[in-house]
Amino acid sequence: MFDLATRDIKYISGVGPQKATILNKELEIYSLHDLLYYFPYKYVDRSRIYYIQEIDGNMPYIQLKGKILGFETFGEGRQRRLTAHFSDGTGGVDLVWFQGIKYILQKYKLHEEYIIFGKPSVFNGRINVAHPDIDKADELKLSTVGLQPYYNTTEKMKRCFLNSHAIEKMMTTVIQQIQEPLAETLSPKILADHHLMPLTEALRNIHFPASPDLLRRAEYRLKFEELFYVQLNILRYAKDRQRRYRGYVFEKVGNVFNTFYTQNLPFQLTGAQKRVLKEIRNDVGSGRQMNRLLQGDVGSGKTLVALMSMLLALDNGYQACMMAPTEILANQHYETIKELLFGMDIRVELLTGSVKGKKRQAILSGLLTGEVRILIGTHAVIEDTVNFSSLGFVVIDEQHRFGVAQRARLWNKNTQPPHVLVMTATPIPRTLAMTLYGDLDVSVIDELPPGRKPIATIHQFDNRRETLYRSVHKQIEEGRQVYIVYPLIKESEKIDLKNLEEGYQYIQEEFHKYTVCKVHGKMKSAEKDAQMQLFVSGEAKIMVATTVIEVGVNVPNASVMIIENAERFGLSQLHQLRGRVGRGAEQSYCILVTNYKLTEDTRKRLEIMVRTNDGFEIAEADLKLRGPGDLEGTQQSGVAFDLKIADIARDGQLLQYVRSIAEDIVEHDPMAQQPENEILWRQLKTLRKSNVNWAAIS
């Protein structure tokens, strides 16, 4: 059979070694297979031919049929351009070239009938079309085909005449060479059950659609397949893991949990907290090893759920561990948990990079004897020197800072992997969660503790600073604290830090009555902690900071968040920042300060922020506005978003549909050995081999 994957593109007629190298480098296209899976990004309807008398300079791409009456060149050297006077009997336009003039003069003849295609514009009162596509009228069969494919190309490619048209030509050649059908990549059953177009036909129609309807069916088949294998891969991996590892069984709810619940818990659990606890209890009682993602908006009470799950572990004779992304957060969790467990005889320890010497030794040996029952810390807890007597439950806070590999390292801390609860406050839309963390079960806390006043969010232009500062003064006089955040992005780090410093000085003058502290990522950690402490203790009334405060810091008395240059933040980031306020009983405010000139996109982002406090709604909107590649956390997650045709934001429904199909297959064929699925398992193996990121999770 014709093997696309091994046939090098340099053997396509008209390609050759030089162009092949460019295709390798620019698009990672090596084989005919790679080329065929380079899909058009749009199609232009070429079924209609216009008359010159109908057109003007404002039209999109159009095609004309006529003859070249004469050539003229103008200018010298780099200014040189070639004009062809083109007429169809109803009028004339100029075709213009700035490059490749010699080639054009050789290639196109006077008085021959051509179909030209391009974008008309007006220059010196005449309509012209620059660098049009030209085909001989009797050779172009496009009037029956209609839709013409357009391919993305790079500057380098264009310089070597590898434009969209050239790719289209290569594609034509390759498709003509396919005499017999290509090996199918989906099973006959799936094709039949879901009415999918066969692969070869789909590939033909995705490049050269015979009709809009066939294009839609080709797209559907290819998207289906792409998303299906992403899901099959993740689910297969999860199934294997489930088969290979047993989970510790937490049989009972004992003294520790009950004492906490009846004596220490300072409030009623919310319905959502109860539900999630029940889900976790089911998992840890089942004999399977739990891998659960707990999503909940900032302030929804995830920490409490985590703590109570850890207490279940203790009741069953296991130790528990909680890992946070920064020292400050680890500290905060430690303090919170110590306080919540007050009066109960449970040894809780904190292990971070700055715990050294005797203290560290004491903790390490306490872990080995089992006297230390809860360990809280940073990355320090996954170091090889940290060993437990019997670790049964692990909580990872703020998942997006930990990779899949780090999660896996925790598994080796006991003979069987402990149960893992991953918490994130960056709400991830369902479809994205399925792709990113498809191997985890998902719990959601979708309810805030009672009595929270929704944060009031206001968008303000930066020329109204006086009014703004007046209300800040008022808030401070009433005893509140205030965050003022400046953007910090890598490319303009120096300028940003300067802005922060200037802002800091300005604020210090404006609020000279009060202590103002300052925190940014470039500070030494001791200095940062000291500044942070000023704010936590309430001595400093204002904290000027970059986004380092984004994650987790909890100062309930802080009720105002001012975000400067809010236009430079992404939606999720704005929402995370806003989550730093609204933690106490007072009405909180988030002020988004921007400059007057805003793009349409920015305006939309700000509107969403002002309209809603719902992290999930915001995450969905963010996904639609920016696309998944940009979402925070996706880069480190280990799953690359090199989807060729499907779109997580738009194809959410299809994703859920194919996931259920993949679930069914994994469920009924857990050992991957049923003949009717043979094609699927073989294809999955091929994909895992050819895609580094897929292999990483398997």
Q: Which residues bind ligand ADP (CB under 6 A)?
A: 267-270, 273, 296, 298-304, 425, 449, 554, 583
Q: How far is the CB of 483 from ligand ADP (least distance, A)?
A: 16
Give the Cα separation of 642 and 634 in Å (integer): 12
Closest among 200, 185, 157, 224 to 643, alpha carbons compared:
224
Give the Cα separation of 401 and 284 in Å (integer): 25
Q: How far is the CB of 446 from ligand ADP (least distance, A)?
A: 12
Question: Residue 352 binds which entry of Mg ion, ligand ADP, none, with Cβ cut-offs from 5 to 8 Å by kind?
Answer: none
Determine how many CB atoms are found less than 10 A away from the CB of residue 663: 14
Q: Are 661 and 192 in contact (CB under 8 A)?
A: no
Question: Residue 481 binds which entry of ligand ADP, Mg ion, none, with Cβ cut-offs from 5 to 8 Å by kind?
Answer: none
In the complex with Mg ion, which residue's Cβ is closer, 135 or 632?
632
Question: Residue 120 binds which entry of ligand ADP, Mg ion, none, with Cβ cut-offs from 5 to 8 Å by kind?
Answer: none
Question: Residue 148 binds which entry of ligand ADP, Mg ion, none, with Cβ cut-offs from 5 to 8 Å by kind?
Answer: none
In the complex with Mg ion, which residue's Cβ is closer, 247 or 552?
552
Cβ-count burial 511-536 (b if 16+ within 10 Å, e if not): beebebbbbbeebeeeebbebbebbb
Instruction: Provide the terminal-to-terminal Cα distance of the chain, rounded to the nearest Å.
Output: 30
Q: Reduce the secondary structure of 527-572 to three states and give it as a string.
A: HHHHHHHHHHCCCEEEEEECHHHCCCCCCCCEEEEEECCHHHCCHH
In the complex with Mg ion, which residue's Cβ is closer, 302 or 480?
302
Q: How far is the CB of 24 from ligand ADP (least distance, A)?
A: 48
Structure tokens at 464: 């109204």
Q: How far is the CB of 335 from ligand ADP (least distance, A)?
A: 12
Give all strands of the β-sheet with 62-74 in edge-to-edge order.
120-123, 126-130, 92-97, 81-87, 62-74, 113-118, 133-136
Sign (positive or negative) of CA dihedral 208, 210, 215, 221:
negative
Q: Are 482 and 542 in contact (CB under 8 A)?
A: yes
Measuring CA to CA, how many Å separate 347 from each of 373, 375, 461, 617?
6, 9, 51, 40
Question: Residue 300 binds which entry of Mg ion, ligand ADP, none, with Cβ cut-offs from 5 to 8 Å by kind?
Answer: ligand ADP
Q: How far is the CB of 550 from Mg ion (least distance, A)?
A: 12
Q: How far is the CB of 610 from Mg ion (least distance, A)?
A: 24
In the complex with Mg ion, which residue's Cβ is closer, 315 or 550?
550
In the complex with ligand ADP, which residue's Cβ is closer, 449 or 570?
449
Can you give the binding site for Mg ion, defined by CB under 5 A?
552
Q: What phi, psi does 374 have (nearest 5°)?
A: -125, 125
In the complex with Mg ion, which residue's Cβ is closer, 552 or 582?
552
Q: Among all residues, whose Cβ is closest to ligand ADP?
A: 301
Q: 3-class DSSP state for residue 224?
A: helix
Measuring CA to CA, how many Å separate 527 from each of 542, 575, 578?
17, 27, 24
For 138-143, which contacts have Cβ atoms below 8 Å and span 24 or more sequence positions? 138/113, 140/115, 142/46, 142/47, 142/115, 143/46, 143/47, 143/49
Q: How far is the CB of 330 from Mg ion (least distance, A)?
A: 12
Measuring CA to CA, how many Å separate 82 from each of 117, 362, 368, 543?
17, 83, 82, 63
In the complex with ligand ADP, which residue's Cβ is closer, 209 or 579?
579
Q: How far is the CB of 305 from ligand ADP (least distance, A)?
A: 8
In the complex with Mg ion, which residue's Cβ is closer, 336 or 693?
336
In the complex with ligand ADP, which residue's Cβ is closer, 388 or 437?
437
Q: How far is the CB of 583 from ligand ADP (least distance, A)?
A: 6
In the complex with Mg ion, which residue's Cβ is closer, 402 or 681?
402
In the complex with ligand ADP, which residue's Cβ is closer, 298 or 665?
298
Give the Cα separation of 533 and 536 in Å (integer): 5
DSSP letter, residue 84: E
DSSP letter, residue 197: P
Q: Are 644 and 687 in contact (CB under 8 A)?
A: no
Strands 515-519 and 540-545: parallel
Q: How far is the CB of 448 from ligand ADP (least distance, A)?
A: 8
Question: Residue 301 binds which entry of ligand ADP, Mg ion, none, with Cβ cut-offs from 5 to 8 Å by kind?
Answer: ligand ADP
Q: Which helix (H) or strand (E) is 328 found in, with range?
A: helix 327-340
Structure tokens at 213: 């309807």
Who contacts 37 (Cβ-Cβ below 8 Å, separation ≥6)?
644
In the complex with ligand ADP, which residue's Cβ is closer, 299 or 487?
299
What DSSP assignment string belongs to 86-115?
Answer: EE-SS-EEEEEESS-HHHHHHH--TT-EEE
Question: Residue 299 binds which entry of Mg ion, ligand ADP, none, with Cβ cut-offs from 5 to 8 Å by kind?
Answer: ligand ADP
For 174-182, which contacts have Cβ atoms below 8 Å and span 24 or more sequence positions? 174/12, 174/32, 174/35, 174/36, 175/36, 175/203, 175/204, 175/207, 175/208, 177/2, 177/32, 178/2, 178/204, 179/2, 180/1, 180/2, 182/1, 182/2, 182/4
In the complex with ligand ADP, which residue's Cβ is closer, 297 or 564?
297
In the complex with Mg ion, which residue's Cβ is closer, 426 or 435?
426
Give the Cα separation of 452 and 678 in Å (integer): 55
Question: Residue 304 binds which entry of Mg ion, ligand ADP, none, with Cβ cut-offs from 5 to 8 Å by kind?
Answer: ligand ADP
Question: Residue 575 binds which entry of ligand ADP, Mg ion, none, with Cβ cut-offs from 5 to 8 Å by kind?
Answer: none
Question: Residue 254 binds which entry of Mg ion, ligand ADP, none, with Cβ cut-offs from 5 to 8 Å by kind?
Answer: none
Q: How far is the CB of 28 from Mg ion (least distance, A)?
A: 40
Measuring CA to CA, how many Å separate 582 from each of 209, 373, 480, 590?
54, 33, 12, 9
In the complex with ligand ADP, which residue's Cβ is closer, 556 or 570?
556
Give the Cα separation of 173 and 4 in Å (integer): 13
Structure tokens at 78: 């780099």
In the complex with ligand ADP, which residue's Cβ is closer, 198 or 449?
449
Q: How far is the CB of 268 from ligand ADP (least distance, A)?
A: 6
Q: How far is the CB of 337 from ligand ADP (least distance, A)?
A: 10
Q: What phi, psi does 331 have (nearest 5°)?
A: -55, -45
Give the Cα separation of 677 and 187 in Å (integer): 6
